Each structure stands twice: as C-alpha cells, then as structure tokens.
Amino acid sequence: MEYRSLPAFFVADAPGLDFLNSVATPVDEPVDWLADGEGFLSWLEQASLVPADVLAHMRSQIAPAELDEVAAKARGLREWFRSFVQKNKGRPLAAKDLRELEALNTVLKRDEQHGAIVADASASSGLAFAMQRRYPTAESLLMPIVEALAKLVCEEDFTYVKACEGPTCTLLFADHTRGHARRWCSMASCGNRAKVAAHRARLREGKGG
C-alpha cells in the first residue's frame, strides 16, 4: 500500500516507539512511511520532530537521491533498534544494556545543538532557555530521531513497553495507563476487532451448545 494514501501512526505514547511504528500493516498490506526521501520528510513533519522551514529547505536544496539515501539509513536504524526493543521489552533496562546502545552514542556525538534564549509566553519573564539544533546536511535529519531513541531507553520503563496483541498488528507502545492494562495499539482498531471476534466466538459457542 502506498504510504501517501494514509497518515502515519502516532499511538505509542513515546516518540521513539512511534519511529518504530513508521512501518506497519494497518489493513492487509504493509505500509512503510520511510520508503523514500519524500516519505521520510513527510513522516518527520507529521511527527513534529523537525521544524517546517528546515524540511522546506531540504526539499528545495537537497537532491532526491540524497534524501532517499538518508531514508535508507533511517530504515536501517529503525530495524536495528526494533531488535533491541523486541529483545528487551517487558523488563527494566540496566547499565549492562549500554553495550548494545553504543551505536546511538556514536551518532549523538555528531549532533549540532546549542542553547539559546527564546521568547516564551508561558514563562513569567516572557523568556526561556531552549536547545536548538542546526541541520547542515540531509543526514542531520536523523539526529532528532536518535535523540528520541536515547530518551526512550533512559526515561521509559521497558517493563511497560508492549506489542499490540492484535494477531496481525506490528505496532509497539508504552503502556502509561493506570494498572498498565493496555493491550491494543488502539481500541478503535485492534481493540474493536478483538471485541467483535470474541462476540462472534461466544455466538458460535452458544449455537454449538
């Protein structure tokens, strides 16, 4: 299915997991929102990870082939990190897990961030200190994603990182519900399908009895 035909999913309650959910099977066919450079830019825009003016500059100044190469690197990063999440979800992370995450630190060393004083209407003085990022190359578009992955492993309790229980669903999420009872990526999709399937099963059992 063409990724342009539907918006990306943001149901994980954690930006790092939303990145993993940038490939999914919403109906019958898999959809990869990072399939090419334009898809990558569109996903970053939908995720609000990169300012719109930066994305507009990339579209106008960077060759499509170069953006396609960065999208391929993003897909590689996604599948590498997916294997880490699948291996470690359901248990808290520990210092020993840092060995598997050194690749993220290697990329983070190339980040170009700096502090700045900015206008902030919510601050009592009207000013606030904020971190801003420069995007000198197309590859620098990966930096906010790597930051989101790093924050995920440092700030999220992996005990409550879960996979949707839908039989064909591949989506992951952080369960922040009270009692940590969340089972589905969305009650409107997989949760509702499960309810319908359970209802039909009860009807069959009733007829069989």
Please give the pLDDT value at position 199.
41
pTM value?
A: 0.88
Residue 108 token pair: 């983070």
Going by C-alpha positions, the residue among 42, 33, 36, 43 that lies closest to residue 63 is 36
Using 50, 70 and 90 to split pLDDT, how confident is the model at 6? confident
How far apart (Å, rounded) are the C-alpha atoms in residues 164 and 161? 10
Please compute the mean of the pLDDT values over residues 22-29 and round it to a whole number. Answer: 82
Please give the mean pLDDT across all residues of the chain: 91
Domain range for residue 36? 3-208
Query: pLDDT by residue (tens digit) across 136-182?
Result: 999 999 999 999 999 999 999 999 999 999 888 889 999 999 999 99
Please count the structural domains in the chain.
1
Identity of the amino acid at 159: T
Question: Is residue 44 a contact partner of residue 141, using CB atoms and an 8 Å limit?
Answer: yes
Nearest by Cα to 26 from 191, 149, 189: 189
Return the pLDDT at 187: 67
Q: Tens of pLDDT along 82-138?
A: 999 999 999 999 999 999 999 999 999 999 999 999 999 999 999 999 999 999 999
pLDDT in tens, 51-93: 999 999 999 999 999 999 999 999 999 999 999 999 999 999 9
CATH number of the domain to which 89 belongs: 1.10.3300.10
